Amino acid sequence: MKTFLNGLGLIIPTAIIFYLLIWLLQKTEAFFKKFLLFVMPDQYYITGMGFIAGVIFVYFIGILLRFWVVQQFRDFLEKIINKMPIISSVYGGIKDFMNFFSNMKNRGDKITVLADIPAMDAKLIGFIMLEDFRNFKDLDMEDPVVVYFQMSYQIGGYSLFIPKKNLTFVDMSIEESLRFVMTAGISNVKGRVRDEQRS
């Protein structure tokens, strides 16, 4: 039974990742294929050109966003979207989700901490997300930071204002610490088992 479950543990995550990648490739290919066929004959089209065009398009948009005029146009569109009740919620949620992981990467690897929980004689792993409190002038706390605590096996978590004196920095990369939290520590156990088997 254990061997069977180990097999499922490899097959299911791998199958899901491959499925999502294939789905993304197919959708990108189909979407940009329509645009390419406007400017080139069908007989010259090769499968995969749509996906390549999609990658180039995204990269080109990234370059354009460096210019002030394009940034102003983006801000104008976002103001319009923010006035649409349902669409603004969906757009804002997706944007915040993408920015969350991007900001974590940009902050480097020195954000993983252990927060003390004296009442339980325990510690909780989290990530320092904010140290600038210009919007919280009335915060009655000594040297606070905002620490984000990710829930295991979920897309979600919560943020707490915690004094720095109650935090201990952990020497882990963002990828390692996120994987540890998301899998409730199981990924770290598996890593140690593999290391022991190799030695």
In tens, the pLDDT along 129-148 reads 777 666 666 767 777 888 88
Residue 128 pairs in a beta bridge with 147
When pLDDT is cut at 50, 70 and 90, the band that residue 193 belongs to is very low
pLDDT in tens, 75-134: 888 888 878 877 777 777 777 766 666 666 666 567 888 888 888 888 888 888 777 666
Pinpoint the residues of the chain covered by CATH 2.30.30: 109-198
pLDDT in tens, 137-180: 676 777 788 888 878 776 677 888 888 888 888 888 777 877 78
Helix axes 2-39, 49-64, angle to 10 degrees: 80
Helix axes 174-182, 186-198, angle to 10 degrees: 110
Q: What is the 3-state secondary structure (H, E, C) of 158-188?
A: EEEEEEHHHEEECCCCHHHHHHHHHCCCHHH
Cα 21–chain centre separation: 16
CATH code for the domain defined by 109-198: 2.30.30
Q: Work out the percent of the chain whose per-residue pLDDT is above 90.
A: 0
What's the rounded mean pLDDT across residues 19-31?
86
Least-confidence region, from 16-20, 47-51, 107-111: 107-111
Higher pLDDT among residues 62 and 3, named by residue: 62
Average pLDDT, the chain: 77
> Is-contact 174 109, C-beta < 8 A?
yes
pLDDT at 197 over 60: no
pTM of the model: 0.52
Q: Give the whole-angstrom CA distance, residue 108 versus residue 90.
A: 28
Cα–Cα–Cα angle for 93, 96, 100, nearest 5°?
140
Higher pLDDT among residues 41 and 100, named by residue: 41
Residue type, position 93, single letter: G
Helix (H) or strand (E) holding 148: strand 144-150
pLDDT at 192 over 70: no
Q: What's the confidence (pLDDT) of residue 131?
A: 73
Q: Give the whole-angstrom CA distance, residue 128 versus residue 159.
A: 9
- Residues sharing a CB contact under 8 Å with residue 37, sequence separation 6 or more, in sequence order: 45
